[in-house]
Structure 1
């Protein structure tokens, strides 16, 4: 069974039920599938290679969902591109994975590099950046009523290539298989006990967090709701007004929602699943969210290489204080082990690297066999996260083994930021670390050693980096050092850097 078959089955069962709802109106299951089939037939004609790659660079809109389903129906490989990425990052990803087609909103076409053999089709309506470009709406009209050739690839084949990392060297393109997607769909349905009346508010980008929930919700006959706005006061209003049953938010956005003066006293009786992920949530905020919204707060733990649902903590489990520091227990189709540096499993309660096995796990990195080999040990995927399993089987994240900063629900690799900072001519050396932050979980901070006589300011350097990277990766603070602290082998000591920044911030706050 293909991942798209779950949606086709719902369309057969609920043809007149609303599948997609938002500022553009509504689409029933029958209408959504008809448009997606037309899109798939168009894609098959434009990309004859059955293993061709098709990218999407778009906001959350109807065209994005139709194109995604069309790619799956066509049997081609989906390549999601992040609209928040800098142009250089998108160019690097496109040239690395060489898609034959990109469907892009008019606002983002300028981010796509000119590449030989690449077709660009405009997705969402908007001002045409180039009148020669095709419009998806026109193609759907021309292909209306047409059905794609049925394609059934082996379940081990790649369904999607998602990027992790980015501005330096070749990005890592995670190959997610049909089998892996099926495992994710089943795992979410089982963990959340999803029902036919689910109304899921898609606040996260479809290219990232929302895609993990899109198919489980549609598989059960639920409705995906695209909000007209994503500001905290708007979300508070939409969650109540539209009787939302489930949504996925980063902790930072939940914190902002809790600060809204109207959030208390509203009718939250429809809400069943307020899911946070991608970053830890402070225990005091967990308790506050439960007090405001009721027993609905849940968390999912995963990563691109084993997407979204390695472990899950249900709302009922999260109500028990002893479970709040955990990310729940491994999901139904996934095994989790804690391994030491030699690859041996440790006893319950002992810290080590969180490792994963099961259908959810990626098949490897696109065209990077060496990095693929490094990611596995004895058949286990190495997550790079440190933690332990307690005696009850609950997973606790303790530290990250890989040097990654999780800020506002996004992964930031320090090397990417360090390379950007280092491009400034006044910078001699730099180091980037994550500093605990009450709003972001972790905030990106840079430690910088300048050339003698430089008058470069913190504001100027941050603005310089912002011209290279997106806002998530741009440092929240820059701290100047006469000399960066170093270890005995002359490497920058990030532990010392972090301690010194902590000290400075503490003195500033005193």
Structure 2
């Protein structure tokens, strides 16, 4: 079985149900299935090689979903390309993965201007005699579905090459095999209880975390709700006016939804799952989110190398405040353990590196055998995260191995300090990191973004942390930001704020 087979089965079971609710209208499963089969045939007409790469450089849209599904149905490898990236970065990924075809939004054409690859345009009009998705579908209307097994594809073959964020070095192309996608689909359905009444709001980019929810929702006969435009207001409107039931988004967007003028729980009448990821949510924020939205909050832990759902926290897990710093318990088909530097698996309660093995784990890094050998050791994926698993099986992350701050011989986990700072009523968001220091080896410092209209001094925040955690974990310096630098999906760029701190004056300052 292949990931696309979940869609084919859903289309046979619910042909008249809506699979996509986009600004331009509804698309039934039957119509979408015909378009996917036709476009898959068109992709194979352009390149008949099984397992060749197809890049998609597009914003969230009906056509993006269609191209995504057709890539899977054609037996191609999906290479997501971020429209908010830079032309050199897009070119680098294209050079590395060598896609024979790239699906492109016309307004993103400049990002791929120098790439030597066949282009297919979204929208009504192509350019440079290149076809559009619509013309390929028309040319191959009525085409039968492609038998992927007959192409010789197997569950260990690659379904996607997704690039890591590059926070710990140059981004690497992660090869996600069919088996990892099958495990993810099954775990999402089991973990969240998705069914045919689901209406998933596409708030985060399909190229990132949202991509792992496309197939689980369709497998169960649900509907994807495409936003009319980007931004928090459009997300609220999708829940309020278009019956959205669930969504995955970064914590920052959750906070923005609560801060919208006139916003209330009444704007989310059918919301049943609000899943956050990409960054931690401090306990005080969890309290605020649950007070606003109700008992619908959930989260998962994974990485590109083990997509999305090694562990998950269901809404009922959040009923116990003692779990709020956790990322949940193991999902199906995955072993998650804590390992000591010497390779021993540690007992409950001891801190070490989080390691994982099982169907969800990548097959390796694209054309980087040395990096693969460093990360996959004796079947275990070394995540680079530190944490512990308690006696109940809940995983508590401490931080990235490289983000651990050793100050005066003591280990300081930035997430502990961030959680303490986040409880201050004036703090909107923060990032904690270490800076080289002649006296301490490393000094704990923090970058802080205050709430709109709130004020606090560096001395006040330092005293706040000292009272909660003691002197060792207290930041020596606070750097105030009007807006913390973020990735395209809203994740605070800790490497960037650390570099800014390194280049700033050595004295603490108050917000300007």
Give TM-score scaled by structure 2 length: 0.80
Residue 143 of structure 2 is aligned to residue 146 of structure 1: yes
Q: Check 1:478–1:4 CA distance in 2 against 1; reply closer, same or farther (3 A cut).
A: closer
State the Cα distance separating 1:53 from its structure 2 match.
Answer: 0.7
Cα distance in 2, alignment partners of residues 190 and 27 from structure 1 = 26
Is the 2:91–2:115 Cα contact (8 Å) retained in structure 1? no
Deviation at 1:207, TM superposition (A): 1.1
Q: Aligned-pair distance for 1:165?
A: 4.0
The residue number in structure 2 matching 1:186 is 186
Q: Distance in 2 between matches of 1:376 and 1:267?
A: 45
Q: Which whole-Å CA distance do the structure 2 matches of 1:120 and 1:480 have between them?
A: 42
User: CA 1:439–1:19 in 2, change beyond 3 Å: closer, same or farther?
Assistant: farther
Contact 1:311 1:327 in 2 (8 A): yes
Q: Partner residue of 1:508?
A: 510
Report if the CA contact (8 A) 1:96-1:171 is conserved.
no
Helix, strand or coil at the partner of 1:381: strand
Report the Cα offset of residue 238 of structure 1.
2.0
Q: Distance in 2 between matches of 1:344 and 1:110?
A: 50
Q: Which residue of 1 aligns with 2:279?
A: 279
Structure 1, unmatched stretches of 5+, are: 415-432, 441-461, 485-496
- Do the aligned partners of 1:44 and 1:148 also contact (CA within 8 Å) in 2? no
User: Counterpart in 1 of 2:333?
Assistant: 333
Deviation at residue 230 of structure 1 after TM alignment: 3.0
Distance 1:12 1:195 in 2: 16
Residue 131 of structure 2 is matched in structure 1 by 134
Q: Does 1:106 align with 2:106?
A: yes
Q: In structure 1, what is the Cα distance between the partners aligned to 2:256 and 2:230?
A: 11
Check conservation: 2:61, 2:226, Cα contact below 8 A: yes
Q: Does the Cα contact within 8 Å between 2:277 and 2:301 map onto a contact in 1?
A: yes
Give 1:288 deviation, angstroms. Answer: 1.3
SS in 1 for 2:266: coil
Query: Partners of 1:306 and 1:265 in 2: how far apart?
Result: 34
Give the corresponding residue for 2:320: 320
Q: Residues 471 and 132 from structure 1, CA distance in 2 versus in 1: closer, same or farther, beyond 3 angstroms?
A: farther
Change (3 A) 1:89 1:168: farther
Cα 1:439/1:12, change in 2 over 3 Å: farther
Cα distance, 1:478 vs structure 2: 6.7
**1:172-207 deviation per Cα after TM superposition (whole angstroms, max 9, x unaligned):** 110001111000000011111111100100111111
Listed as ranges, the matches of 1:36-75 within 5 Å are 36-75=36-75
Q: Does the aligned pair in 2 maintain the 1:74–1:151 contact within 8 Å? A: yes
Matched, 1:232 2:232: yes
- Distance in 1 (CA, whole Å) between partners of 2:498 and 2:4 is 44
**Paired position in structure 2 for 1:173:** 173
Bigger Cα displacement from structure 2, 13-22 vs 229-238: 229-238
Q: Which residue of 1 aligns with 2:372?
A: 372
Distance 1:305 1:205 in 2: 18
Partner residue of 1:288?
Answer: 288
SS in 2 for 1:322: helix
CA contact (8 A) 2:278 2:491 kept: no
Decide which moves more: 261-270 or 235-244.
Answer: 261-270
Counterpart CA distance in 1 for 2:285 and 2:491 is 25
- Report if aligned partners of 2:3, 2:215 keep a CA contact under 8 Å in 1: yes
CA distance in 1, matches of 2:86, 2:491: 9
Partners of 2:166 and 2:394 in 1: CA distance: 32
CA 1:265–1:218: 2 relative to 1, 3 Å: closer
Task: Choose 343-352 or 234-243, whichever is displaced more.
Answer: 234-243
Asked if residue 19 in structure 1 is aligned to residue 16 in structure 2, the reply is no
Structure 1 residue 76: deviation in Å? 1.1
The alignment partner of 1:271 has SS state of: coil
Query: 1:269 Cα shift?
Result: 4.0
Query: Hey, what does 1:120 align to over in structure 2?
Result: 119
Alignment of 1:489-504 (within 5 A): 504=508
**1:243-392 to 2 correspondences below 5 Å:** 243-266=243-266, 268-392=268-392
Superposition deviation, residue 237 in structure 1: 2.6
Is the Cα contact below 8 Å between 1:159 and 1:178 reproduced in 2?
yes
SS at match of 2:307: strand
SS in 2 for 1:134: coil
Matched residues, number? 441
For each residue in 1:359-417, what CA deviation from the matched residue of structure 2 results, as whole angstroms up to 9, or x when unmatched?
A: 0000000111100000022311011111100111000011111459999xxxx9x9xxx
Partners of 1:100 and 1:318 in 2: CA distance: 46
Name the CA shift for 1:120/1:345 in 2 (closer, same or farther; >3 Å): same
Partner of 2:196: 196
Q: Secondary structure at the match of 1:59?
A: coil
Check 1:479–1:198 CA distance in 2 against 1; reply closer, same or farther (3 A cut).
Answer: closer
Residue 170 of structure 1: CA displacement?
6.5
Counterpart CA distance in 1 for 2:109 and 2:32 is: 25
